[in-house]
A and B are shown apart, each in its own frame.
Chain A
Amino acid sequence: GAGVSQSPRYKVAKRGQDVALRCDPISGHVSLFWYQQALGQGPEFLTYFQNEAQLDKSGLPSDRFFAERPEGSVSTLKIQRTQQEDSAVYLCASSLVPGQGATETQYFGPGTRLLVL
């Protein structure tokens, strides 16, 4: 079946612009995650949804970052008034069920590469 998809794949924004990044998780996956990956680094956790509920947003770097998943499927990560330090790859991942063990395995999308000029 289809994996996690993200759009756009690439986004160039001028400093101060707002951007919206979309994630389509694997069908039926309850959990959805957003990560930020800077060049040469591992992904850093941003936020987590279980169905439509945002259960953890402790990784969001500032109040300019906002995520939603209103119907428990597609999610959007919005960044307001983008800054140069927001330039990174934004990865979305989904997993089948929350809980413990191998069911936690997260499957990643290809990411959106954001460049803020």
Chain B
Amino acid sequence: GQNIDQPTEMTATEGAIVQINCTYQTSGFNGLFWYQQHAGEAPTFLSYNVLDGLEEKGRFSSFLSRSKGYSYLLLKELQMKDSASYLCATTSGNNRLAFGKGNQVVVIP
């Protein structure tokens, strides 16, 4: 089975950097996804990591350590539109995604 843990909420100032952590325990591991979800909207794909290390994509970066069962999403130069829930999800090759509860980020001016 999959067990995914994320902190629930954080507040950060516009222009700042925020790091959202995700730890997981899985019976098999085939990659980790990060999604952004604004209230009442669809989750939208941000990043995919399957190898250890940092993947950078514009203002967003995602890191994975398979040996530690740990990932983080780094949001730089925060903008008001980044206020959303950030979901991490693992896949174990059986096609389904196992999601954490999500981390609500609130960006304040």
Contacts and interface: CB of A to CB of B under 8 A. Distances in A.
Contact of A43 (B31, B94, B97): B97
A109 B40 CA distance: 11
A33 B100 contact: no
Interface residues of B, number: 26
Nearest to B104: A40
A111 B94 contact: no
Interface residues on A, range: 20 to 34
A108 B42 contact: yes
Contacts of B31: 100-102, 104
A61 interface: no
Interface stretch (B10-18, B44-52, B56-64, B69-77): B44-52
B95 interface: yes
A113 B40 CA distance: 9
Contacts of B101: 40-42
Interface string A87-117: 0000100010010111011111111010000
Interface of A: 3-4, 31, 33, 35, 40-45, 48, 50, 55-56, 59, 91, 95, 98, 100-102, 104-111, 113
17 contacts: A33-B96, A42-B87, A42-B89, A42-B102, A43-B87, A43-B97, A45-B96, A45-B97, A50-B95, A55-B95, A102-B31, A104-B30, A104-B31, A104-B91, A108-B35, A110-B40, A110-B41
